[in-house]
Amino acid sequence: MGPMRERSPDGSYGRIFAVVRRIPRGRVATYGQVAQLAGLAGHARQVGYALHALGAESPVPWHRVINARGGVSPRSLPGWERVQRDLLEREGVRFDERGCVALDHYRWRPRRSPISVAGGAR
């Protein structure tokens, strides 16, 4: 009960991980979308922070999460962008010359939100 904020790797972040884990192969979702589906609308930044805490070898398909521009966010380590891009391309996601994917085509559209749709919002 209590004041346990659940800061463990499977705690409040688990909500975000649960959403990311639901992203089907060959599909992508934006940080803001994941945040909204996790019930943290507007906290897109926290999604990125949570994924960063996960690690590249995490069981969560972090590579399926991209920014609203449809591209992979620049990371501290050079070349990492290529890794995420390669993982997505391996799933069938194609990038254009700008290094962006067509969100209108690859964006994951869950029929049922992980959290209550609150009266069929959307």
Partner DNA sequence: GCAATGACGCTCT
Partner DNA sequence: CAGAGCGCCATTG
Provide the β-strand partners of residue 30: 66
Gap between the Cα atoms of 103 and 81, Å rounded: 17
Smallest CA-to-CA distance from 12 within 50, 43, 58 is with 50
Burial per residue of 53-83, b for 16 or more beta-carbon CB atoms within 10 angstroms, e otherwise: ebeeeeebbbbbbbbeebbbeeeeeeeeeee
Q: Which residues, numbered 61-100, are part of the site for DNA (CB under 7 A)?
A: 62-63, 65, 67-69, 73-76, 84
Candidate segments 48-56, 88-96, 109-117, binder of DNA by CB under 7 A:
48-56
Using the rule CB under 7 A, is 42 a contact of DNA?
yes
Q: Could you tell me how many residues of this chain bind DNA (CB under 7 A)?
A: 31
**Smallest gap from residue 71 Cβ to DNA (A):** 9
Beta strand segments in 14-120, E: 29-30, 65-66
Using the rule CB under 7 A, is 44 a contact of DNA?
yes
**Smallest gap from residue 54 Cβ to DNA (A):** 5
Q: Which residues contact DNA by CB under 7 A?
A: 7, 30-33, 42-49, 51-56, 58, 62-63, 65, 67-69, 73-76, 84
